[in-house]
Structure 1
Amino acid sequence: MTLNDLEKRLLNEYQKGLPLTPTPFADIAAKLGTSEALVLKIIDRLQALGVISRVGPVFKPKRVGASTLAAMAIPEEKLEKVAGMISAYAEVNHNYEREDNYNLWFVVTAPNQQRLDAVLEEMEQQTGYKILYLPLEKQFHIDLGFPLWC
């Protein structure tokens, strides 16, 4: 996959700091020297390609709703299928593979603890695999923004 300069700039410059205005995409477009329609088209394309999974806010844990880090031990031959099932949930921010017995990790957020519990239970029923719940005990801030292209 090849990204053009505008796509690279959009990814680099807006990993964080989405404008909190009534017209955030128009504001981004103005700063990038393009149109709002093109910015939205790029976002759609990058989502369709799997380059990005979502555009939206990330809230500090326990400030809005409920969330947990979760992990599953999935046989290698079923990992891609199960990861796709987990990613299909709107409550999942992201998931990733790790080299361990627990090889599928993801973050789930919901409006409240009851919904969070229901989503996790539904995931277990849908996939047939138990979930290891790892709720936040102590918060550390790690800024995960980094240059993607120089």
Structure 2
Amino acid sequence: MVVPTAMLSEPIRFSDDQLAESSRVQCEAALKQLTGDAGFDCRVRRVIETSYPFPPKLARVAATLFVSERTLKRRLQEENASFQNLVDQVRLERAREFLTGTGMNLNQIADVLGYADAANFTRAFKRWTGVSPSHYRVTEQQSAGVVPSTLAPV
């Protein structure tokens, strides 16, 4: 879109000040609901979920929320939460999504979730769920009626 420089100083035609104010109030109310109702742990979790690379460092999350690392830890502790537990919750959710919704192998999933190798990922997944990632994938595929590709007829 190209706009001549002279047009930039002219008022916007068909603007409605009352509608603009109403929209601004609605947006501010929605933002307040999103940020005001959520506890500090929810805010930290949102930052973790949207961080790249994953998982984020504690210092980066603290800086994003404009608090010190100590304050972040203290406020999470007040809500009976911890940074590592929040990271692990997000990792588990993503692991389940990758295992059921993609054909990624365990090495790829481990890499995306920030693990050094598939063995570390497998140990963590077993600790969280009680089953191996491979077993979880097969079980989920069977319950969804999907034939695993390794068992599919040729």
Q: Comparing both structures, which one devotes a greater share of its residues to strand?
A: 1
> Which structure carries more relative contact order (alpha carbon 8 Å, separation 6+)?
1
Same fold (TM over 0.5): no
Q: Which has the larger radius of gyration?
A: 2
TM-score by length of 2: 0.33
TM-score (normalizing by structure 1):
0.34
